[in-house]
Structure 1
């Protein structure tokens, strides 16, 4: 568990589960699920996951060998919860951010629960996107807020970490070049999807994935599961960016 992640104002879960079947963990330290707003296990008629019970431990499974249902939770946070990724010059206040717990499918072909900080206004989009990725069993390596890496984007990328909000000290507030400072951008599997917009790919291990025709698990490709899940929610992929491909980066406006 990342000790810095203390969720202080968590509302109670909607319904307590009667039983929870234990699934294997990924080996990556993840905070426990501390739900506030319980969000869907399965899509409703509108495509938005409907309300359901949320466990306070491992993902539930309805039968031996069955895939646990998708789960997402949304919780408020304070500045104390984002000490390395937020400062007073950032263009968004902690009160406008949310901590989400999300089911994801690991490279070990098993279900896990990860955590991510995003803008409150995009939690519905994020829920829909990751519900699709989970249902399609698109593999994600790791999912932790960048505070787990002391706000270091380089370290988060090197760990192949999927993350959202980051506005560390030294960033330029409202003039910040990325929607990450607003919590309206998400980087997915940075090693498999390197930022190739500069002279050298970031993270360095991403050089092994610069050949995008060599399709491997976890990669973002045109018309692939990952790209289609984000674009269906109205988000923009920076893979085909004219300023240089950033395969990991998805945002609400392309920045």
Structure 2
């Protein structure tokens, strides 16, 4: 997936292991870091369960440009500037866009399609 994105110069702001942020998801998000494996629980409402990130089957891409909305909160905070999904800017995941199509081509699902609490940065093999 990333070789295709690189070939067309799709901007990935930062790509470092979560360990660079002490395993803290919020720190990684605030740094606009694209990250995958992180042994953590699901963020948000519902029962406490392991995230798809804990299994290495999910990745968050450009979290500032693609924020997660949860109960009126924006993660990361700097993502507020990107809440207007109709104003497409570099690095954004949008319906029908290159990033979403690239992950869909290998069967991964996009969290931006979730109703109620869209997670625009999130792509996963499991849909969760």
TM-score, normalised relative to structure 1? 0.47
What are the ranges of 5 or more consecutive residues in structure 1 without an aligned counterpart?
1-128
How far the C-alpha of 1:243 sits from its partner, in A, is 3.8
Query: How many angstroms apart in 2 are the aligned matches of 1:222 and 1:136?
Result: 18
5+ residue gaps, structure 2, are 43-47
Q: Secondary structure at the match of 2:104?
A: helix
Q: CA deviation at 1:132?
A: 1.1
Structure 2 equivalent of residue 175 of structure 1: 49
Distance change (3 Å), C-alpha of 1:220 and 1:245: same
Alignment of 1:233-252 (within 5 A): 233-252=106-125
Structure showing greater relative contact order (alpha-carbon pairs closer than 8 Å, 6 or more residues apart): 2
- Of residues 34, 57, 68, the one that matches 1:162 is 34
**What secondary structure does 1:142 align onto?**
coil
- Which residue does the alignment assign to 1:197? 70
Q: Which residue of 2 aligns with 1:184?
A: 57
Structure 1: distance between partners of 2:113 and 2:79: 17
Q: Which residue of 2 aligns with 1:213?
A: 86
How far apart are 1:223 and its partner, in Å? 1.1
8 Å contact from structure 1 (residues 140, 162) kept in 2: yes
Residue-pair matches, total: 123
- Once the 2 structures are TM-superposed, how far is the Cα of residue 240 of structure 1 from its aligned partner? 1.2
Bigger proportion of residues as helix: 2
Measure the CA separation in 2 of the matches of 1:136 and 1:245. 26
Instruction: State the 4+ residue runs in structure 1 displaced beyond 2 angstroms.
Output: none
* Separation in structure 2 between the aligned mates of residue 207 and residue 239 of structure 1, nearest angstrom: 15
1:17-166 aligned within 5 A: 129-166=1-38
Cα distance between partner residues in 2 of 1:135 and 1:202: 29
Larger radius of gyration: 1
